[in-house]
Amino acid sequence: MSMRQFFPRNVRLASIVLAMFVLASAEISMEAQRTDAIQKRLRSFATDPLPNGVKREEAASFYKPDTLYEYIDGGADVYLLYDFQCLLHQNFKTGHGELTVDIYDLGKPENAFGIYSAERSPRYKFVTIGVEGYRSEGTLNFVQDRYYVKLAASGAGAALDPFARMLSRRIGGTARAPALLAKLPVEHRLAHSEQYVRKDPLGHAFLAPAYLVGYTWAGKQDSKLVLSVASDAGEAKARLDQFVKHFRQSGECTAEAGLGENWIRAKNSYEGRVIARTQGRYLIAIFNPPENGAEILKRTAQGLQ
């Protein structure tokens, strides 16, 4: 090989390596800036002025996706499933007590609602704050916009409510449940049963992500409505096909041509009866439907058009 051949080839290689290094450095810098912006916004929620009698005990601590397990070891995986971005953790003094504040940034309002709904129960004592909140002795949790807020207090002068409402005012943004939930039937809906599930809704991976809502009919029969959100109509039909395959293998499934295209009725011994259909990019299913389930499914589909 001549010197003329050797140098240009190595120059080209060095140029490629340098370009890759510059690109990687730029990506690292952008990620650092994004993280700083998130932490600055989280810190602004719990800054001065604070409610009467509340004093900051220490500086805020922050946890990222790769360090969250250090704070909630054993519970971090569920938060990561909902695209967890960052956690602010801070302790405060309140009279003769203490207050711990945790603000989780989940990136999007539906993700924050999802992890909140995964941890709450319809039996909790609910409060009107943010999208929804609940409290018990010494705790108050609520969801608002892209944030899931958890407060825990001990001792006298806990200041849970004023601190929570201060945070809600400062967070601002979206204080409504995910928009798709408003398009689902309201009549006979079980209060506080709404969920957003990103993995294996009702045990079916192909349904994810999905919204789940409970219903009761005349106080006797409980049903579950599933709204599976696909990327387009083709994927929604593919999910329905997997639904058909599952029930044909585990029970029985028939097409309901008289009700329109892509309607099915199915059942098996452990999931009971199911009716389902597609509407655009959605697959809609009702587990344990009432007698007029087909009409409910039809109205739900119309509301999604």
> Which residues are CB-contacts of 215 (< 8 A; sequence separation ≥ 6)?
185, 188, 189, 190, 222, 223, 224, 225
Question: How many Cβ atoms sit within 10 Å of the Cβ of residue 57?
Answer: 13
Residue 303 CA to chain centroid, in angstroms? 22
Report d(CA 283, CA 292) in Å as an integer. 19
Q: Does domain 179-303 fall into CATH 3.40.1000.20?
A: yes
Report d(CA 282, CA 37) in Å as an integer. 35
Give residue-wise pLDDT tens across range 258-276.
Answer: 676 789 999 999 999 999 9
Give residue-wise pLDDT tens across range 193-243.
Answer: 999 999 999 999 999 999 999 999 876 679 999 999 999 999 999 999 999
In this predicted structure, what is the pLDDT of residue 121? 87
Q: Per-domain residue ranges for the chain? A: 39-171, 179-303
Per the confidence metrics, is the pTM higher than 0.85?
yes
